[in-house]
Structure 1
């Protein structure tokens, strides 16, 4: 779903015009230019008991919401911004129907481990552990920990994990994240979008710690500050990132 540089420039101009004037005709042009993205995401949720027309309408609604909220001055590509919004609308549509979105086994197992680790670390530290402390204890990345935390919200009391008697097993199959949730690339778009909302210093800290996998001591040496200061800054920006993740998920 790539587009030429000229087309991207045209889209940026349309967003600037729409943000300045609120002209609905301009918004219609933006919808037409980006509809392919919405339809592509809708197809990821096909064959799960909801008509394709309904899915496309829900995805189109998510596209409209993304267009209304998008700020072109932030320098983010619209597709990066719109994908989490559209997928959120699709997932909400299934949840509103009482269906649960099932998560991968590795995330389920991490969620269970985190439940144990939270209690252990709280007892050891005398306070609730930070995301970083949980990630270190679980030998997982920050992204995996955040994903496991968010996955806990996907469980519902009414599940369609077991197919109904006499029903088509494919239509009654659980909504497995392996083939329906965001792809790894789309998850990265969401994380990059959230990181883009942090201060430049905090973005650097996160990238050094979790992307380049530097130790706090190495980060302190790189930035010319104490390791204690690095630890405090990381805890603060990780909590900020967690709050932004919770806001996005809701």
Structure 2
């Protein structure tokens, strides 16, 4: 997209130019919605995130300054992802029953891993917990949905561009949370740390992570839920 078109839009706010820019950059919304797919709880659809992402894209269009030397894709990605996370915050909360289920999942995972000498499969976990596989899958989906906000907002969040008036006490609390999470991550096996890094830092898709780890996409979802349950247990 040429700088001339951007300059024309900034000067005129022409609706036709805006539509052209939106059409060109709209795939960014789909890209980020897809990357967040692993973390959607059952009651949140990809369409919900996409709608929020479009609002983030519109905000980015209005705020972007083409003369600052920053690529629009980089600038817009933070706005789009931020809008999607805000939507998840609005729609999601963590019930006590899910916290209990996370603890039970972690306990079963650790017990089976010790017994089998490997990571347990989905069916083995369901049998250990005494629940149908479908119920276990639902629990894992909810756990995956609960994980994104805490991890995005602490260790893996992109630094925000704020002014000097930012809250010092809030920054101290955030740094302490980052240190606690970093310490918990160090206690995870290397394979689990790799999975989190590939998803939250490298922003790979489930399929791409599966290729790196040599497992299926559904197995990546299962492993992700187990890692999150383990992290929560380490942090409590």
TM-score by length of 1: 0.43
TM-score by length of 2: 0.46
